[in-house]
Amino acid sequence: MSKTFVFGHRNPDTDAIASAIVMAHLESQLSPDAQIEAVALGDPSSETRYALEHFGIVAPRVIETARPDAEQVILVDHNERQQSVRDIDEVVITKVVDHHRIANFETSAPLWFRAEPLGCTCTILWRMYDENDVPIPADLAGLMASAIISDTLLLRSPTTTEYDRRAASDLAGRAGIDLQRYGTDLLRAGTDVGDLSATELIDRDAKSYTMGSTTVRVAQINTVGTGPLLARRDEFLAAMKAEAQQAGYGLFLLLITDVLEVDSDLLVVGEPLEAVEKALGVSVHDGHASAPGIVSRKKQVVPQLTEALREN
Amino acid sequence: MSKTFVFGHRNPDTDAIASAIVMAHLESQLSPDAQIEAVALGDPSSETRYALEHFGIVAPRVIETARPDAEQVILVDHNERQQSVRDIDEVVITKVVDHHRIANFETSAPLWFRAEPLGCTCTILWRMYDENDVPIPADLAGLMASAIISDTLLLRSPTTTEYDRRAASDLAGRAGIDLQRYGTDLLRAGTDVGDLSATELIDRDAKSYTMGSTTVRVAQINTVGTGPLLARRDEFLAAMKAEAQQAGYGLFLLLITDVLEVDSDLLVVGEPLEAVEKALGVSVHDGHASAPGIVSRKKQVVPQLTEALREN
């Protein structure tokens, strides 16, 4: 039997990296003979590195293509083709575990597909360990708690469900961490923009979507206090415009999110601008809008924009 | 809260009808306040009627559109848009439980989606009752066993998994039936072609697929002893040609399956014929081919044909 790769989306966040490591562990427990390896479609962010180092876990190696090493893949934390590995159409997808919308996904044969509208893929995996009576090792529990903290902004994002709360509490106990204290440290670690250029920052956590006939890019930068980043607005807008032109994005949105205030500022380039304003209930002036309370790309931006651009 | 409809695919088979009734029951148990109704996208077949009457269950009413009665829908035993309700694009899909490939399915928001490559949707539902600690009433257990018998040809189709075997045995016990005896009676009831015309017969259990640029129709007729139906070959081929022309099917395949022998004969109209021959490993002469061992549209026809027509 050939090897199976498990990986999350491009520009991986903590849930994408954690879910791959955790799913590979669970699969290995359920099928001891299978050759399963967690890999990544990009380097871990400063937040993810903080979590990996805290729990003594090695970052998965970064791959460019699944083949020739693997003929089969398991997708976690994504399902849309354009967010996946470059040669996704040449391998067999055997399983998917995800908490996003389903789009641009097609198989020729039946497969395992489990999507649940929860705050974090690691919450679904937490349920799967329980259903299969597999114990969760302490280090992986810490990594899973980190993913939930990251995706739900310490259980304060509107994406947070009762399952996420129960999972976070249970996992923190197994990992021996104080959820609030460790969570605040983790989120702060993720706001380290170092001396990164605007181009590097808008690429770090960005996803592409096909909405109607428009390709839409939605990037997000987490920070504490949006002032310093907003002062670089023109630099961001220029970088977004250049990238949109090069990659063919009709719209490019950047959410600058204060992870402690749970609020965002929005930068936008491209058209149709009215659709963005209407979909998100904001007013864009010179490429900028306040977006109070909007922190979830998945729940508060993508569905609304998809609806608005459906007939486009 | 508006009403939620639960339904299986068009031209419903026993699993499509049973899954809808059973999923509506499970959902009602888990959310007692929700307004949930099982409906159908077509009349039950003679096989399904046999099962419903045997266990004293009323057939779900047939709907043409989900709206205005329901704004939300739960899909069972299908996910492809062209197999679903006519106004599927105007309602919100909240959940899907299915055992088919995933294709032509897209949502703007996250949802519950559970697909498993098992022989029958009712086997997945059997697992869900267990996971949620909800007891299965005897009459529904009988209906679920009927769906498994129907989809797996009494556990002899190559789609049959260990889960289907365990579910069938457990459900037969709950329903108080002898699986072999009841199963043979049920399958025989499904082979009653009465005095139906060829056009009626090729419509009874037929599904449409988009494969590459070709729309493919695959129909199946279950029988005991294929002789009488094969004697009507020219009548079937003419009906298939007429329907393909009218509906724009590039290919129309009809499997005439002996449910006790677990073998099929294949009738084909349309192009490319070589792709069909290569994909299924058969030789077509005058629109007919022997297809020994081929009984599963889902596992032995659709994936192979999808691959063959991918570049088409």
Q: Which residues of A touch B306 (CB under 8 A)?
A: 108
Report mean pLDDT in 10-residue bins for chain A, 312 residues: 92 97 98 96 95 98 96 97 94 96 91 97 97 96 98 94 98 98 94 87 91 94 91 96 96 95 95 94 96 93 93 65
Joined together, the tokens standing for residue A278 give 């209407």
Please report where in the chains the tokens 């022309």 appear, as a residue.
B245
Residue B127 has pLDDT above 80, yes or no: yes
Joined together, the tokens standing for residue B252 give 């129309």
3-state DSSP assignment of residue A250: coil
How far, in Å, CA of B302 to CA of B163, rounded?
A: 22
So what's the pLDDT on residue B252?
A: 98
A221, β-bridge pairs: A256
- Look at strands A36-38 and A3-7 and give their pairing: parallel
- Sequence letter at residue A251: L
Q: Which residues of A touch B298 (CB under 8 A)?
A: 110
Cβ A115–B117 below 8 Å, yes or no? no
Give the CA distances from residue A148 to residues A123, A154, A193, in Å, rounded to whole numbers and listed in that order. Answer: 7, 7, 21
- My answer on whether B132 and B252 are in the same domain is no
Q: pLDDT tens, B194-230?
A: 788 999 999 988 999 999 999 999 999 999 889 999 9
The alpha carbon of B286 is separated from its chain's Cα centroid by a whole number of angstroms, namely 28
Residue B181's contacts (CB-CB under 8 Å, 6 or more residues apart) are none
- My answer on whether A156 and A11 are in the same domain is yes
Q: Which residues of B touch A131 (CB under 8 A)?
A: 131
Cβ A302–B104 below 8 Å, yes or no? no
Which range (A93-97, A168-172, B236-240, B308-312) has the least confidence?
B308-312
Joined together, the tokens standing for residue B69 give 């009665």
| Chain A contact residues (CB < 8 Å to B) | 99-117, 131, 298-299, 302-303, 306-307, 310
How far, in Å, CA of A263 to CA of B102, rounded?
A: 36
3-state helix, strand, coil in chain B (%, to 5): 40, 20, 40
Residue B2 has pLDDT above 90, yes or no: no
Q: With contact defined as beta carbons under 8 Å apart, do A196 and A232 qualify?
A: no
Confidence of residue B1 (pLDDT cuts 50, 70, 90): low
DSSP string for residues in B144-183:
HHHHHHHHHTTTTSTT--HHHHHHHHHHHHHHT--HHHHH
- My answer on whether A227 and A170 are in the same domain is no
Residue B256's contacts (CB-CB under 8 Å, 6 or more residues apart) are B220, B221, B223, B226, B229, B230, B264, B265, B266, B267
- My answer on whether B63 and B157 are in the same domain is yes
For Cα atoms A189, A261, A196, give the angle at the middle one, nearest 5 degrees: 40
- My answer on whether A175 and A34 are in the same domain is yes
Mutation test of the interface with chain B: which of A75, A106, A118, choosing the one with the most B Cβ atoms within 10 A?
A106
Q: Give the gap in angstroms from C-alpha B115 to the nearest C-alpha of chain A.
A: 5
- Sequence letter at residue A150: S
Residue B312 has pLDDT above 70, yes or no: no
* CATH number of the CATH domain containing A90: 3.90.1640.10
How far, in Å, CA of A264 to CA of A279, rounded?
A: 16
Total number of domains in chain A = 2
- My answer on whether A182 and A247 are in the same domain is no
How far, in Å, CA of A225 to CA of A303, rounded?
A: 27
So what's the pLDDT on residue A71?
A: 95
Give the CA distances from residue B259 to residues A178, B150, B153, B199, B293, in Å, rounded to whole numbers and listed in that order. Answer: 60, 9, 6, 21, 11
Q: What is the mean pLDDT of residues B64-89?
A: 96
- My answer on whether A43 and A180 are in the same domain is yes
* CATH number of the CATH domain containing B303: 3.10.310.20
Which range marks the domain in which residue A137 is found?
4-191
- My answer on whether B294 and B239 are in the same domain is yes
Decide which of A191, A212, A240 is a domain's last residue. A191
So what's the pLDDT on residue B156?
A: 93
- Give me the phi and psi of A5, to 5 degrees please: -90, 140
Cβ A106–B104 below 8 Å, yes or no? yes
| Pick from A109, A113, A114: CB nearest B303 | A109
So what's the pLDDT on residue B173?
A: 98
Decide which of B191, B213, B248 is a domain's last residue. B191
Residue B68 has pLDDT above 70, yes or no: yes
Decide which of A143, A172, A191 is a domain's last residue. A191
Cβ B117–A112 below 8 Å, yes or no? yes
| Pick from B100, B113, B131: CB nearest A115 | B113
Q: Where are the beta strands (DSSP E) in chain B?
A: 3-7, 36-38, 70-76, 92-98, 112-115, 206-211, 214-223, 251-258, 263-270, 288-291
- My answer on whether A168 and A53 are in the same domain is yes
| Pick from B103, B113, B131: CB nearest A107 | B103
Residue B99's contacts (CB-CB under 8 Å, 6 or more residues apart) are A110, B77, B115, B116, B117, B118, B119, B120, B121, B123, B124, B298
So what's the pLDDT on residue A1?
A: 60
- My answer on whether B159 and B262 are in the same domain is no
- My answer on whether B130 and B213 are in the same domain is no
- My answer on whether A151 and A214 are in the same domain is no
